[in-house]
Amino acid sequence: AKQGVASMLAVALVLVSLAAFPRECSAHRAAANSHGKTKGVHSIGVCNGVIGNNLPSPSDVVKLYKSKGINSMRIYAPESNVLKALSGTGIGLLMDVGNGVLPGLANDPSAAAAWVKANVQPYPGVSFRYIAVGNEVMDSDGQKTILPAMKNLQGALAAAGLGGRVKVSTSVRFDVVTDTFPPSNGVFADLDYMGPILDFLASTGAPLLVNVYPYFAYKGDPQNIKLNYATFTPGTTVNDDGNGLTYTNLFDAMVDSIYAALEDAETPGVKVVVSESGWPSDGGFGATAQNARAYNQGLINHVGGGTPKRSGPLETYMFAMFNENEKKGDPTENHFGLFNPDKSAAYSIRF
């Protein structure tokens, strides 16, 4: 599904053929954590996919997160063994409901209450941060279930005394935004669909979760998108006359087009969380360990400072923790992992 993003971006990203100039490296920033102590802010979590038959046990996975200093995780459905392993660790969790349950959650508030009772309330030691109601739901029938399901889950969490602590959102593909050349022109392609969702997020203080993949944009248009621009490597600078800002990497340009779309939709206060981003190390065009390391290390180093349009830490979830050998589709899908199933590094990376 991620590869569909590339075709939507081809025109939008012609801007990278402009003149190249050196860019400065991102500076690490410091901020206070919830206990008042200061620490380096990277705002990085990692998605924990499980589509493989040789992956480590949940307890070993959580130990690896802790040993690497990774303080946030995304899972794509409630997994009791993972939730038990996370209990008491302080690792923040973004948990999907799973697309298959959306109709039930949308049609019946009691189903949402039962879901919260089964998948959230039994785990008081888990640091639930967000519940993602749908991931990249593209069909119109499925999209109609998202907002009702979000509202029902929000009500269920509030009834359980968790409404202020756990935010309800949905995870969308980047191509819900269109006209992204330049980034300041970004608008939502279908405001009839996205508008009510954004109004809900604005009313609850929840962020919009967006999957952002410069890799697929580069793969779809390598003639116009320079590899260095796509991988946080110095050498290309792009100016946006619409907002007066300068871009030195494709990730920033993509995220700032989302912020522009939020402003156009009159919901500028809605925050953005990048719920997936990554680069494969094998299996297809541009998929090498060298490129994957350049992008993912660049992402880790960069997001603590935000984007040209919006400074400050940008919460981002890298995709993914492990190479998953049972994923279907393009061969690159098996090679997005930062680690191999034996927990060895797929390539050198520093958190």
Burial of 165 (0-12, 13-18, 19+ CB in 10 A): exposed
Element (H, E) at 106: helix 102-107
pLDDT at 26: 29
Please give the average per-residue pLDDT across 240-269, as a whole number. 98
Label residue 280 by pLDDT band (50, 70, 90): very high
pLDDT at 4 over 90: no
Q: Say how far apart CA 71 and CA 87 lie, in whole Å.
A: 13
Chain length of the chain: 351
CATH label, 45-339, candidates 3.90.226.10, 3.30.450.20, 3.20.20.80, 1.10.40.30:
3.20.20.80
Q: What local confidence, expressed as pLDDT, does residue 341 receive?
A: 98
Q: Give pLDDT tens digits for 64-116.
A: 999 999 999 999 999 999 999 999 999 999 999 999 999 999 999 999 999 99
Q: Is 266 a catalytic residue?
A: no
Judge contact between 225 and 16, C-beta under 8 A: yes
β-bridge mates for residue 240, sequence order: 245
Q: What is the mean pLDDT of residues 296-316?
A: 97
pLDDT (0 to 100) of residue 42:
42
Pairwise pLDDT comparison (298 vs 5), residue with the higher score = 298
In Å, the largest CA–CA distance within the chain is 57
Our CA dihedral for 138, 139, 142, 148, rounded to 10 degrees, sits at: 70
Nearest partner of 124 among 159, 166, 76, 154, judged by Cα: 166
* pLDDT at site 181: 84
Residues 287-292: contacts with CB within 8 Å, 24+ apart? Answer: 287/215, 287/332, 287/335, 289/346, 289/347, 290/347, 291/227, 291/231, 292/346, 292/347
Percent of the chain with pLDDT over 90: 87
Q: State the catalytic residue, choosing from 79, 263, 266, 276.
A: 276
So what's the pLDDT on residue 164? 87
Look up 24 and say whether it is catalytic: no
- Would you state the pLDDT for residue 34? 32
Average pLDDT in the 228-238 region? Answer: 96
pLDDT at 1 over 50: no
CA-based angle 271:311:236, to the nearest 5?
Answer: 115
Which of 236, 278, 276 lies closest to 253, judged by CA? Answer: 236
* Residue 49 pLDDT: 96
Contact indicator for 208, 258 with CB cutoff of 8 Å: yes
Give the CA distances from residue 188 to residues 40, 181, 185, 304, in Å, rounded to whole numbers and listed in that order: 34, 13, 10, 26
Catalytic position from the list 136, 315, 324, 333: 136
- CA 346/CA 340 separation, integer angstroms: 6
Residue among 287, 293, 210 at smallest CA distance from 251: 210
Please state, in angstroms and as integers, the Cα–Cα distance from residue 59 to each residue in 54, 56, 85, following that order: 14, 8, 5
Question: How many CA atoms lie less than 13 Å away from 145 in the CB half-sphere?
Answer: 23
pLDDT tens-digit map of 199-223: 999 999 999 999 999 999 999 999 9
**Which has more confidence, 34 or 266?**
266
pLDDT of amino acid 23: 27
pLDDT digits (tens, 9 = 90+) for 121-139: 999 999 999 999 999 999 9
pLDDT in tens, 9-51: 433 443 333 333 222 222 232 333 333 332 333 489 999 999 9
Residue in this structure with the two tokens 């979590």, named with its chain if needed: 45
Residue 320 has φ and ψ, to the nearest 5°, of -145, 180
Question: 3-class SS at 96?
Answer: strand
pLDDT at 111: 98
